[in-house]
Chain A
Amino acid sequence: KQEVTQIPAALSVPEGENLVLNCSFTDSAIYNLQWFRQDPGKGLTSLLLIQSSQREQTSGRLNASLDKSSGRSTLYIAASQPGDSATYLCAVGSSNTGKLIFGQGTTLQVKP
C-alpha cells in the first residue's frame, strides 16, 4: 500500500529565504508525482507535475525533483515571498488516472 509522508508538517521562514519541502513515498512504482498548493478553506492548485520518467520540473521560482529509487521528491522555492504562505501537498499517482495518494502537507508561513 502506497504511503506518502511530508516533512516538516509546518515551516516558518523570513521573506527572501530559499527553502525545500520534502516528500517521501513507500512504493517506487509510480506513474507521476504532483505538487499542489492549498490556501485556507480553498481547493487545491496544481503547481508541478513530474512524470515517472522525469527527474525534475520547473515553473518560475519553483523546482520539483523526483528520485524514484529512493522514494523521494523535493519542492524547492526560491526567494520566498509572503504570498507563498499556504499548505503544500505532495501526491503520487500509480496509474494514468487522477487517483492520487496525498501526503498530509507542509504548512508554510513566510514572514515579511
Chain B
Amino acid sequence: DTGVSQNPRHKITKRGQNVTFRCDPISEHNRLYWYRQTLGQGPEFLTYFQNEAQLEKSRLLSDRFSAERPKGSFSTLEIQRTEQGDSAMYLCASSFSDRYEKLFFGSGTQLSVL
C-alpha cells in the first residue's frame, strides 16, 4: 500500500500528558499537511511542509503544538500538556507541488483526552 499512513489510529490520554503522532506520506510527494477535524465539522488546516521546511502555521497551532519533518520524509505532530479541547481527529495529507495540488489523505489519528 503506497497511500498516506498515520499512526497510531487511536490515542487515549489523560489531560496534561504529551502525545506524538506520525505521518508517512506518499513517497514521491514533497508537500505534507496536517489538519484537525472535530465531530460534525470539516477539517481545519494546521500546518504544512515543503520538503523539510515548515512553510505555514495556522493560528490554531498554539505553542503546545509542534510539527517536524526531518529530511523531508515522515512527519510528527506533538501536542504537549494535552487539554480536553484537543480531542479531535488529526489528519495528514500529502501532495506533489504541481499546478493541480491534489491532496491524498491518511485515515487519521483519533485523539481522546480524558
Chain B's closest residue to A46 (CB) is B102
Contact B101 A93 (CB under 8 A): yes
Interface size class of A (residues with CB under 8 A): 20 to 34
B71 part of interface (Cβ distance < 8 Å): no
Contact B43 A98 (CB under 8 A): no
Tally A-B pairs: CB < 8 A: 69
B91 part of interface (Cβ distance < 8 Å): yes
The CA of A96 and the CA of B97, in the complex, are separated in Å by 8
Secondary structure call for the A interface = strand
- Distance (whole angstroms) from the CB of B26 to the closest CB of chain A: 13
Contact residues in B for A4 (Cβ distance below 8 Å): 42
Chain A's closest residue to B56 (CB) is A99
Contact of B100 among A49, A91, A103 (CB under 8 A): A49
The CA of A85 and the CA of B31, in the complex, are separated in Å by 30
Q: A4-B42, A104-B40, A104-B41 are in contact. Are A96 and B107 (CB under 8 A)?
A: no
Residue-wise interface mask of B (42-56) relative to A, using a CB-CB cutoff of 8 A (1 in contact, 0 not): 111100100000011
Q: A4-B42, A32-B101 are in contact. Are A99 and B33 (CB under 8 A)?
A: yes
The CA of A4 and the CA of B41, in the complex, are separated in Å by 12
Contact A43 B106 (CB under 8 A): yes
Chain A's closest residue to B41 (CB) is A104
B103 part of interface (Cβ distance < 8 Å): yes
Contact B101 A97 (CB under 8 A): yes
Contact A97 B31 (CB under 8 A): yes
Contact residues in A for B56 (Cβ distance below 8 Å): 97, 99
Q: A34-B103, A104-B41 are in contact. Are A97 and B110 (CB under 8 A)?
A: no
The CA of A103 and the CA of B101, in the complex, are separated in Å by 18
A44-B93, A98-B33 known; 8 new pairs, CB 8 Å cut-off, are A43-B107, A44-B105, A46-B103, A96-B97, A98-B93, A99-B33, A99-B48, A103-B42
Which A residues are closer than 8 A to B by beta carbons? 4, 31-32, 34, 36, 41-46, 49, 51, 89, 91, 93, 96-105
Q: Which 3 pairs, one residue from A and one from B, show the smallest C-beta to C-beta distance?
A: A102-B42, A43-B105, A44-B105
